[in-house]
A and B are shown apart, each in its own frame.
Chain A
Amino acid sequence: MNNTDRGIVKCELELLVNGKRQPVVIRSADTLLRVLREQLGLTGAKAGCENGDCGACTVIVSGTAVKSCLMLAIEARGSRITTIEGLEDAPIQQAFIDHFAFQCGFCTSGFIMNCQALIDRHPDANEAVITEWLRSNICRCTSYEEIRKAIHAVIDRE
């Protein structure tokens, strides 16, 4: 807590993004999505609805999938943030390619981050768990079946 009775309106801080400490200057009212995209140039997380509905902005914060449009950047202080740019040749990325799990690609990074969080959390997820998690994201191009095949390809292999 601040020593004064004033809260933080604007501040300089370091966010731990994809394993690197990144200095940023943020307003308390800035969402994590905006800071990732506009200050750090990490444009993988997409601004779809900015309303919590589409999941295109999904990132992983200390192991948990989060819609970055509904998180303030200041809330992520001290957390490990992973964006799609932080995944390097993860099996789920290759599986998306192998199974044609995208068309326009706008939703893809959000879906992949959600799938990655699911694989980390439930490496042996059953169909019901997969369905439940996939409900968090929307694909306007309706690649749902292919996305399901991609996640199965990883989970069944592991």
Chain B
Amino acid sequence: MISFDFEYFKPATVEEAVRAFWQAEARGKAPIYYGGGTEIITMARLDQLRPGAVIDIKGLPECNDMRFRGEQLAIGAARTLTDVEETPLFPLLADTVRDVADHTNRNKITVGGNLCGRFFYREVLLPFLLVDSLVVLAGPKGMRTVPVHQVLNGAPSLARGELLVQVLSDRRYFGLPYVTVKKTKMERIDYPLVRIAALRTEQGIRMAFSGVSDIPFRSLRIEAILNDATLSLAERIDRVIATWPVPILNDIIGSAAYRAFVLRNTLRDTMTALERRSL
């Protein structure tokens, strides 16, 4: 049971949603946007989050988009992971989403909630990082479109009260060879010890990670090492792990040493699989 009350809004337009947010903010209600609500309800029940107002975005038409506009695929923030999986317009994304949480939870978890959430795995982010997606954000001054790298690579850095409306992805990446793999300690649907999503482009291999550290990320420096043809694969992997840019998690799911071990093997398998595939 959630032990405190909050106001619930269900706006019909993005403008109304943003206005409701700022009006509630002005009244000291510490509002938050509400997508699938799975994380909000979980945290509120444990008193780890106490919003005074929630703004449900599932009625906003732009947040329910899922279609191509020219060369770009627009996916609305309120689309569920099941929607993305069952309409696999972006195959790498659909395959990544397929083992995030379990099927019934995926009926409720939204793309926007996973990208902006506080649970740090945010596995849905990785495919978007690999194809240099753009995100459409709405704030009090209107809409802005920025690279996903700018606001979501690592910890989310949306401005206070900004609403993630859509993610735009260029379809020219969709036919490229990819690997997406999740290593868990026990069940396939557990949180990842290591999740790697990787894409092979003409410029080289791109890779993004979740589960290894307490942020999901893509690093150009890691990619430069992985694509360095002067080194053997084993040397490249050693160097990546030795210079890992953030601390490797050491928690109940796995020690840092075990995670590094799983990371090493998963990197080797991913690189081998991708280097074998032709463009």
Contacts and interface: CB of A to CB of B under 8 A. Distances in A.
B9 to A, nearest CB: 4
Interface in B5-52: 5-12, 16, 20, 23-24, 36-38, 41-42, 44-45
Interface residues on B, range: 35 or more
B224 interface: no
B42 A132 contact: no
A133 to B, nearest CB: 5
A6 interface: yes
A64 B107 CA distance: 7
A65 interface: yes
Contacts, number: 99
Contacts of A65: 103-104, 107
Contact of A132 (B8, B58, B103): B103
Given A7-B24, A50-B45, A67-B108, A1 B12 contact: yes
Nearest to A7: B7
A44 B82 CA distance: 26
A75 interface: yes
B185 interface: no
Contact of A71 (B9, B53, B103, B108): B108
B42 A51 contact: yes
Interface in B175-205: 187-189
Q: Which of B7, B44, B54 has the most CB of A within 10 A?
A: B7
Contact of B38 (A2, A27, A52, A58): A52
